[in-house]
Structure 1
Amino acid sequence: MEGGYRDDKFVGGTDNPDFYNFYHWAQIDIFVYFSHHLVTIPPLMWIETAHKNGVKVLGTFITEWDHGANNCLTMFGSVQSSIHFAKKLAEIALTYNFDGWLINIENVLTVDGVENIQVFLQYLTQEMKESNLHSSIIWYDAVTNEGKLEWQDSVTDLNSCFFRCCDGIFLNYTWKDWKLELTLELCIDKPLDVFVGIDVFARGCIGKFECHISTKKITDYGFSVALFATAWCYEQTKPDFPSFIKHNNRFWNLLQPTCSPKPLSLTQDEKYVTEFNFGFGKKAYRYGFLLSLKSWFNLSKQDVPFINFINDDNLSTSINDVQAFESSTCLQVDFLEGTSHDNLICLDMSRRKGGEMILVCKSLNDSKLKDLKMLVTEKNGIQHSLYQEQNMFIGGNHWRRITFPLNDALNIKWIGLKFEKKRQIVLLGQLSC
């Protein structure tokens, strides 16, 4: 995003609540921090937040154009130097606790360079696996086995030698159907290791709010998806942060059919609490009482599960940064009369038996929320209504603590809400179970 290393580079965050924010972790498996520096180490807040959500984080090693070709002459001039630099990259990843590298060589190579980069890839992949079994080294498709700068947009005999040396290949964005068919023929045994590129800015491909068209085609072939520059949603709306949040939610909702959310899996003994902290704010609250008017941004403070944001004529889901129960944000859901949000929060509770769900919430309609029901949907699609066991005030500013008992037999994947009567605007400040 804008070259990288901006407000997100500071370990303790900044006072800019309107910086680019990412919270759709459940829809991705790997996050690559990209910049045009030779070695890009992901900032701490990205590493911590991704790992909290079960997502691998990769740094970027990149060489480009004439100066990149000169760097490659130095680094990959011999087998010994290639092994040396591979070892250094593995040490960097281990030191900073991230999970691998995107290797992006975008310049011509010598014959020796082609051979030595394969040694480099093999050694780096091996070294990373020794310290992190789940690590990934991914090669970007730009140069050929002849050392030419020629993007293939597919796996071919000209780039497969690099692919064989590491964990995956990231194909360039200007692919066509016939190139995907060719790739499938050559990679029928490991299609998920092929990451087919989509430039969200739509440079040479179908992108922007039509990225879901490209992801559908890619996943129909059985390949993985590589979305490049998803901060497009931010860059096109800046400095209008509320518009960014709206566009960002729309973008990721459109991707749900092909990039479906992975629910956070809860164990029987694990206590789960979310305060719907999205990693930014303009105020700070404690138990509903205002503590501070200081603005802040820090992704590592996020504690949100996967939330299904919907905006239509009957239902609206949004981030509220004006009120909160804890921290600085809460989740706002606007219901019309008799409507429900069936798939609001994605949590895998299949390993949980019994207990209770506790929701801290408040109504902007001056209601005691007596007609609020919690909906839970099992993995098999069967839906159940949970009725209130307790409803009481907690903290300040009219927040209420509502308890819903859980049945031992439920195999929950989705949590939702429903109102039987009048229109409601409800703020969710905390969910625990």
Structure 2
Amino acid sequence: MCDGEETSLVENRFQWSDDKNVCTPILSYVDVQKLKCFRPPWHDRILALSNTSSSCYSGQDLQCRRAHPDLLKQRRERKDVPKTLFCHDLRGGYREDRFVNGSPKHEEYRFFHWAGIDTFIYFSHQLVTIPPPVWVNSAHLHGTKVLGTLITEWDDGKKVWDEILKSDGAVEDFVDNLVAVCCHFGFDGYLLNVENTIPPEHVSRLEWFVQLIHHKLHDKIPHAEVIWYDSVTEKGELKWQDELNSLNRTFFDNCDGIFLNYTWKEENLKTSAENAGSRHLDVYVGVDVFGRNCYGGGGFNSCQAVELARKYSLSVALFAPSWVHEYLGSPHFVHLEYAFWQKLWPYLYVHGPTQLPFSTTFCQGYGEKLYHNGQVVSDAPWYNLSKQQYQPSVPSCLEDKFVEPILKARKEEGSTNSVKEDVLQLITTGCIQHCSLDAFTGGGCLQISRSCSGNKSQRILICSFSADGQILVSVATKAPSKGNPNLNVLLVTEDSKGSCSKWLLMGQGAGNSDDDRKHVFPLTQKQIEKLKHRVESDLFDSLSPSIGSGWKLSHHLLDLQETIVEIGVELCEPGNSILLGLLRILPLTAQE
């Protein structure tokens, strides 16, 4: 805290039922002033932004039903491709996600397609929207930036800007306070949404405000982003343009990008691309998933608007993708969410993790129960996105025949509770899908089913893990009650000359050796014991834990001077599905 700062009232702003670990927005100009030196109780529990690969792949090349191309030939630099922004607006915000330590309401909205998202905005209609730390942690784990929102609306908003813009000193103070809030709460910038008129004599100061917050945020947070929403013009008029043009250009020139209003036509996109020139990737085409006067009508047709934006090499801002949960409800959420993002995936650019050690149990940040090492440690349901683990880089491939009947039921009867059993039977299991009925650690795992495309292997992650010596790859699997299938893990590596190798980490059974893949078999317990001195002490026990309920843990040792660029799985006979509950890659210390 700052010396002499009165904080008791400020601290009370972040309480709910006497719990200080609750995140809330900032409601007034005065409160912003008070928070300059305030650090929330959870400050040290915010994850830093993870590094992600500088290259990416088109989601078009990562779909299950496409023949597997040579992925590396499709690789592109992220700085050269359009970006995707997710603007989260769900019933006013700050629902169960406001609880820093989680909630027992496990059916709350969650997001798990981070590999296709560059920036996440938490949105509400309060003055300053502080992203709840559960969202910051989940996004940062996947290398996705998180922005808060500064919004002013109508007459009340005009009064706020009258205070901010009354002098140069007032502008500087407000900017300093916003930058401090961003730093103390661990997020990465702001969406600036000014939806009220600005007196003409104050417009130049508003332009300076945008320039100043951009400069000061980047000074404190080099990767920061400031995005301007297409609303106020250079004349101070509240007049949405639906394009980048001379009336909003000055704000675009002083920040990292512009978020276009949703009611655009194709000619607006063409004009925006032409006016942006070399900065066309900084133009985010607004797509309202609720479909309010938006091209394509939103919903499961949102992909039509995204496709058109990509035609002009423009970035996209998806507004309220939580529509799937809000409009259609929670009973069939996971399948509907898979179907929604499956339609969008061909138009997204997918990135992956780079940091070792790497570990994921594929938990989505919720559970009907809580598991540890395959054993139930709590029967209570829970929701906490801070506990989310790294998610796959690929969408599900389930068929979407069930979508239209569910949409029809929602439209005609106001809910999806009346969906008939014959409709539910249309919901098929994708090749790679989340399972909430079991877990190794957390609240869920992946269910791997036989590939519908006929490919032997199925991608689960694209990545860029640089290995310089021996690594230990650990995998936890569980077979269903019938059959005893095996799961092999496929690593694709690239050396310094661009040549690729494939490593097949074998499950319990023998594999086919008549291909070009290098086979690696599981270590014996005796071999694992010999590695004890080369593993950090707090990790060694996890190599041989007491596990239950049919889970099997295997370890594979590889010596690599290469970069792992892809991780896949291969389901072997007998059986049609298997659970994957842990994937961990651990660099070993050098041998003495």
TM-score (norm 2): 0.68
C-alpha displacement at 1:366, in angstroms? 4.0
Q: Which residue of 2 aligns with 1:310?
A: 397
For 1:24 and 1:72, locate their aligned partners in 2 and report how far apart those are by CA, in whole Å. 37
Q: Deviations over 1:147-177 (max 9, x none)?
A: 2111101111111111122221111111122
C-alpha displacement at 1:320, in angstroms? 1.7
Q: Which residue of 1 aligns with 2:377?
A: 291
Q: Which residue of 2 aligns with 1:72?
A: 161
Q: Which residue of 1 aligns with 2:515?
A: none
Q: Which residue of 2 aligns with 1:330?
A: 445
1:117-196 correspondence to structure 2 within 5 Å? 117-196=206-285
1:271 pairs with 352, 357, 376, which one?
357
Give 2:431's aligned amino acid. Answer: S
For 1:48 and 1:222, locate their aligned partners in 2 and report how far apart those are by CA, in whole Å. 30
1:236-247 correspondence to structure 2 within 5 Å? 236-240=327-331, 243-247=332-336
Q: Which residue of 2 aligns with 1:418?
A: 570
1:386 pairs with 501, 504, 508, which one?
504
C-alpha displacement at 1:9, in angstroms? 0.7
Q: Deviations over 1:168-188 (max 9, x none)?
A: 111111112211221122211
Secondary structure at the aligned position of 1:181 is classed as helix
C-alpha displacement at 1:415, in angstroms? 2.1
Tell me which moved more, 309-318 or 8-17.
309-318
Q: Which residue of 2 aligns with 1:342?
A: 458
Give 1:225's aligned amino acid. Answer: V
- Unaligned segments of structure 1, at least 5 residues: none
State whether residues 523 and 557 of structure 2, in contact with CA within 8 Å, keep that contact through their aligned partners in structure 1: no
For 1:74 and 1:189, locate their aligned partners in 2 and report how far apart those are by CA, in whole Å. 36
1:215 pairs with 301, 306, 309, which one?
306
C-alpha displacement at 1:254, in angstroms? 2.1
C-alpha displacement at 1:321, in angstroms? 1.7
For 2:178 and 2:451, locate their aligned partners in 1 and report how far apart those are by CA, in whole Å. 54
Q: Tell me, yes or no, if structure 1 residue 229 matches structure 2 residue 320.
A: yes
C-alpha displacement at 1:334, in angstroms? 2.4
Q: Which protein is richer in strand relative to its size?
A: 1
Q: Which residue of 2 aligns with 1:427?
A: 579
Give 1:20's aligned amino acid. Answer: Y
C-alpha displacement at 1:345, in angstroms? 2.7
State whether residues 78 and 112 of structure 1, in contact with CA within 8 Å, keep that contact through their aligned partners in structure 2: no
Higher relative contact order (CA 8 A, sep 6+): 2
Secondary structure at the aligned position of 2:342 is classed as helix
1:256 pairs with 345, 349, 368, which one?
345
- Unaligned segments of structure 2, at least 5 residues: 1-89, 400-427, 507-520, 525-543, 586-592
Tell me which moved more, 376-385 or 8-17.
376-385
Give 1:118's aligned amino acid. Answer: E
1:356-395 correspondence to structure 2 within 5 Å? 356-370=472-486, 372-377=487-492, 384=502, 386-388=504-506, 389-390=521-522, 395=547
Secondary structure at the aligned position of 2:318 is classed as strand
Secondary structure at the aligned position of 1:257 is classed as helix
C-alpha displacement at 1:78, in angstroms? 3.1
Q: Deviations over 1:215-256 (max 9, x none)?
A: 22222322211111111111122141xx11111122222222
- The alpha-carbon distance between structure 1 residues 314 and 167, as it changes in their structure 2 partners (threshold 3 A), is closer
For 2:101 and 2:373, locate their aligned partners in 1 and report how far apart those are by CA, in whole Å. 24
State whether residues 467 and 561 of structure 2, in contact with CA within 8 Å, keep that contact through their aligned partners in structure 1: no
Give 2:357's aligned amino acid. Answer: K
Q: Which residue of 1 aligns with 2:124?
A: 35
Structure 1 vs Structure 2: percent identity of aligned residues? Answer: 34
1:94-105 correspondence to structure 2 within 5 Å? 94-105=183-194
Give 1:302's aligned amino acid. Answer: Q
- The alpha-carbon distance between structure 1 residues 197 and 314, as it changes in their structure 2 partners (threshold 3 A), is closer
Give 1:431's aligned amino acid. Answer: L
- The alpha-carbon distance between structure 1 residues 126 and 411, as it changes in their structure 2 partners (threshold 3 A), is closer
- The alpha-carbon distance between structure 1 residues 198 and 432, as it changes in their structure 2 partners (threshold 3 A), is same
C-alpha displacement at 1:19, in angstroms? 0.4
C-alpha displacement at 1:391, in angstroms? 8.1
C-alpha displacement at 1:192, in angstroms? 1.4
Tell me which moved more, 344-353 or 102-111.
344-353
State whether residues 374 and 404 of structure 1, in contact with CA within 8 Å, keep that contact through their aligned partners in structure 2: no
Q: Deviations over 1:281-335 (max 9, x none)?
A: 1212222122110111110111123342222578433222221111221111222
Q: Which residue of 1 aligns with 2:101?
A: 12
Tell me which moved more, 190-199 or 355-364.
355-364
Q: Which residue of 2 aligns with 1:93?
A: 182
Secondary structure at the aligned position of 1:349 is classed as strand
- The alpha-carbon distance between structure 1 residues 367 and 307, as it changes in their structure 2 partners (threshold 3 A), is farther
Q: Deviations over 1:94-133 (max 9, x none)?
A: 2212111100011112102322211111111111111111
Give 2:437's aligned amino acid. Answer: V
Count of aligned pairs = 427
State whether residues 175 and 212 of structure 2, in contact with CA within 8 Å, keep that contact through their aligned partners in structure 1: yes
For 1:315 and 1:152, locate their aligned partners in 2 and report how far apart those are by CA, in whole Å. 42
Give 1:82's aligned amino acid. Answer: V
- The alpha-carbon distance between structure 1 residues 301 and 381, as it changes in their structure 2 partners (threshold 3 A), is farther
State whether residues 283 and 290 of structure 1, in contact with CA within 8 Å, keep that contact through their aligned partners in structure 2: yes
RMSD: 2.5
For 2:212 and 2:130, locate their aligned partners in 1 and report how far apart those are by CA, in whole Å. 19
TM-score (norm 1): 0.91
For 1:387 and 1:160, locate their aligned partners in 2 and report how far apart those are by CA, in whole Å. 54
Secondary structure at the aligned position of 2:431 is classed as strand
- The alpha-carbon distance between structure 1 residues 64 and 265, as it changes in their structure 2 partners (threshold 3 A), is same
For 1:263 and 1:239, locate their aligned partners in 2 and report how far apart those are by CA, in whole Å. 28
State whether residues 99 and 136 of structure 1, in contact with CA within 8 Å, keep that contact through their aligned partners in structure 2: yes
For 2:562 and 2:276, locate their aligned partners in 1 and report how far apart those are by CA, in whole Å. 40
1:52 pairs with 132, 138, 141, which one?
141
